[in-house]
Structure 1
């Protein structure tokens, strides 16, 4: 892997930084602690993302057939690094670039692509994802929301939880299960993906108060919600392949390591200014936190490099995801040990980092789910025994 950036990549990064310097309000640091799902940040994102689009910075890596510039996938990750380090001014729209748009391009029908892709590439779309459930958590295979086939589509009934941005979303990328019966599919094969209009009758959204930011997470309730068959993404029985593809992109699409690294650099400068950097214990802890950040970065870059070379999916996204969680928590622990006063209002960026570190091990699939995937796919450890079998 080439660890340096090309001249074009450096110029692309600088264009993004120039736009941030030009558009972010003076009080952005204080206001961004409200969270990407807050009304303030969502409203700002609806103005900011079209600016990115107009300058060719939002989805340049998309194929030209879908309004992109056929740019290397690295440009998407440069964008992600700069956005996350700045407090994610794209708000909820980071999901569009990371995995919703790519999933639609790979598996969507022509009508779906014509309907959903233009608002995404123009920076006008807000989506939420209906994955986790009260009784299933991150175990998507155990979801219970029902999609009962009816004339012309499906009737959806069930509940989702921890759903980010649902209060302002236009559409929901929903996972549901077709009831078994009559020799129909069961297990993962019975899951369907539905692109649900959030204005549909029968949908109730309830905001969940949370430490991680205003408006970031919600409960969703579906009561006999009709979804047209034309809004099913892929075929019945194909959903798990689509989910796997989407999660490969989602789990490494948030550049948390970049925010943590910049937060660590900020802390070191403050400790130097206060005359505390001479302490060898402080330096040792800082070096450990830096090591975690750079290890996470390199593992994520390994995933991006494989994607750039169109290599098949492997266990690296889960390994990288776990490393990113460790980096977030490592820097947060360092800050709590040596600069705890930042959490009582003296540094709003530290408050924002602390909030996001709390969520790091839950968002995009709980850290325990990643460890299970690593055990199975990387270490080739045995899974749970089948009924009647004994563990060896």
Structure 2
């Protein structure tokens, strides 16, 4: 079997790396430029337009929707190199990874015509309104309501942990259009402009510095029926597909592996790599990064072959969390107090690893899904 990238994708990676070397300032990857910081978000708004101008923002989308018509692998090469550099696209990766593809598959022609081009040009940001105070790990328990009102719906409820909502233009939002007893069968997806009257966004301060989470309150928010994605009460199928894209949309193992290389260089100059215990810890972290990469590649292979999303995405997501946490723990162990210095490799990786098990689906929920969907273990 041949596991190497084909020449076209390899050439794309070389061009992309050269481009990022020119475009990104020295030290971009340090924590003060981290995801969620004002510096990062402001920069990303300009950066994504530069990418769009080169056809590199949505290379995997069909050309008729502003994409480059390229395959899933080129899109993922793009994601790997971006995450190695601290994801300079900022929140835009959500737009291009799963919001746009969901619109392409389930949207009306009007929705595609009006909503996709601004994403492809890098002009708008989207956020994702899924979790609620009483429905985080169990989305089927969400309580935000959407009630028919003329030629639209009235939305009332609350979302929490909504990344980048304070700067987003639109929200990919879940609301209950059926009864609570309907469970998953009574959920619909709305494409909500966040400047709609009745929407209030409140930031949630991060305890490790940068802020990216928010609460979103909806009080008698009227949204036209044209902003309903797919059919009423049938949003769960859209959600399942969206989550499968989200699970591997951020290849965090690529960033963790790069940090690991830097930690190895740091340790080598201080003579720490002669310690068998340190060697073992580096080996375990490297193995976890490689395992995550290969599991993610299995998911991308399915996507490249137009297969339906599978539980392998849950496996890959859990493996990425393990890799990020292993590198974060290693940084603290080998660097000691130096890892606590703001802007150091240890500091940046530790911050990233704290959120690794929450963002894009909590680690524990992924393990539960793996036991049920892959191992076929009975529920207790």
Alignment TM-score, normalising by the size of structure 1: 0.93
Provide the C-alpha distance between the structure 1 equivalents of 2:333 and 2:341, rounded to a whole number of angstroms. Answer: 16
1:1-392, aligned counterparts within 5 Å? Answer: 2-30=2-30, 32-180=31-179, 186-211=182-207, 213-345=209-341, 347-383=343-379
8 Å CA contact 2:147–2:177 kept in 1: the answer is: yes
8 Å Cα contact 2:329-2:350 kept in structure 1 = no
For 2:336 and 2:343, the matched residues in 1 are separated by 10
RMSD: 1.6
Q: Is the 8 A contact 2:159 2:215 kept in 1?
A: yes
Q: CA deviation at 1:34?
A: 4.5
Q: Is the 8 A contact 2:83 2:251 kept in 1?
A: yes
**Runs of 4+ off more than 4 Å:** none
> 2 CA distance for matches of 1:14 and 1:347?
28
For these two proteins, the number of residue pairs brought into alignment is: 380
How many Å separate the matches in 1 of 2:12 and 2:99?
A: 23
Distance 1:135 1:34 in 2: 32
Unmatched 5+ residue regions in structure 2? none
Listed as ranges, the gaps of 5+ residues in structure 1 are 385-392
| Alpha-carbon offset, residue 9 of structure 1 | 1.3
Whole-angstrom CA distance in 2 between matches of 1:171 and 1:265: 38
Distance 1:304 1:365 in 2: 18
- CA contact under 8 A between 1:35 and 1:215: conserved in structure 2? no
Q: How much has 1:36 moved relative to structure 2?
A: 2.1
SS in 2 for 1:163: coil
Q: Secondary structure at the match of 2:216?
A: strand
Deviations along 1:253-290, one digit per CA (max 9) or x if unpaired, are: 11110011011110000111111111111111100000
Q: 1:70 to 1:11 in 2, by over 3 A?
A: same
